[in-house]
């Protein structure tokens, strides 16, 4: 005989909060997690969430901080991510400072201009870089992190109109076009975020006991 609580666990999808209100990220991450039996809520489903200050020294710290703060307020297992661009010739900068590389409250254009300026005298062979994403899951008695990397090269000029951020300057390995020139579904299959959240899928299944 199945007790009501076990029965509930078997038929009701788990609720998970995705700690972002960025519609692009929500689309990308819900697509990756689409075949898991979970219901995803985003910060838009709640009112009055304070902005979590991303002041960690690493992408991992920021992702865990965001997930932890939202979990503490909702009591619902929470996913968060933080990502950035690491340029090898710049000793992995801008990294965790990717959003504010050219200063506080700057535009993507400002950041791209600064990057082109810093790499002005760097030859094409030495313009290797990677996007890195840290995804975190925080729940009752666990904190888990998964990472994803996408390697490529920084171009010498802006190319393409798709995507966001550094996409017009980043050519992923194995391609000639930038992320801003490639179709979004191509980017979403191999991006740093896709890779981090694919790994996170296994962790979610395990931690939330989601049936396969």
> What residue ranges bind ligand IMP (CB under 6 A)?
81-85, 98-99, 111, 131, 163-167, 179, 191
The residue annotated as part of the active site, out of 35, 45, 55, 82, is 82
How far apart are CB 163 and ligand IMP at their closest, in Å?
Answer: 6
- Answer whether 145's CB lies under 8 Å from 134's CB: yes
Considering beta carbons, is residue 153 or 191 the nearer one to ligand IMP? 191
Comparing C-alpha atoms, which of 111, 205, 115 is closest to residue 164?
A: 111
How far apart are CB 143 and ligand IMP at their closest, in Å?
Answer: 18
Considering beta carbons, is residue 142 or 164 the nearer one to ligand IMP? 164
Residue 82 catalytic? yes
Token duo for residue 145? 């992190």
How far apart are CB 187 and ligand IMP at their closest, in Å?
Answer: 7
Considering beta carbons, is residue 60 or 81 the nearer one to ligand IMP? 81
Distance CA 171, CA 69 (A): 35
CA distances from 197 to 6, 114, 136, 150 (A): 28, 30, 9, 13
**Ramachandran angles phi, psi of 134, nearest 5°:** -110, 125
Considering beta carbons, is residue 71 or 131 the nearer one to ligand IMP? 131
Asked if omega into 94 is within 30° of 0 (cis), the reply is yes
How far apart are CB 192 and ligand IMP at their closest, in Å?
Answer: 7
Given CA atoms 182, 170, 105, 29 in this order, what sign does their dihedral have?
Answer: positive
Residue closest to ligand IMP, measured at CB: 165
Q: Which sequence positions are flagged as catalytic?
A: 82
């Amino acid at each position: 005989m199945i007790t009501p609580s076990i029965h509930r666990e078997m038929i009701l999808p788990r609720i998970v909060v995705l700690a972002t209100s960025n519609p692009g990220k929500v689309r990308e991450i819900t697509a990756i997690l689409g075949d898991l039996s979970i219901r995803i809520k985003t910060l838009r489903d709640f009112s009055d969430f304070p902005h979590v200050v991303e002041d960690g020294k690493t992408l991992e710290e920021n992702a865990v901080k965001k997930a932890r703060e939202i979990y503490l307020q909702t009591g619902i297992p929470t996913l968060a991510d933080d990502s950035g661009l690491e340029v090898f010739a710049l000793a992995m900068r801008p990294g965790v400072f990717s959003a504010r590389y050219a200063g506080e409250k700057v535009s993507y254009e400002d950041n791209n201009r600064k990057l082109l300026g810093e790499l002005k005298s760097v030859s094409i062979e030495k313009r290797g870089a990677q996007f890195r994403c840290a995804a975190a899951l925080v729940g009752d008695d666990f904190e888990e992190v998964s990472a994803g990397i996408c390697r490529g090269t920084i171009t010498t000029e802006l190319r393409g109109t798709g995507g966001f951020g550094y996409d017009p300057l980043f050519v992923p390995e194995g391609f000639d076009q930038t992320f801003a020139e490639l179709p979004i579904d191509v980017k979403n299959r191999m991006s740093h975020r896709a890779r981090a959240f694919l790994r996170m899928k296994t962790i979610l299944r395990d931690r939330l006991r989601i049936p396969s």
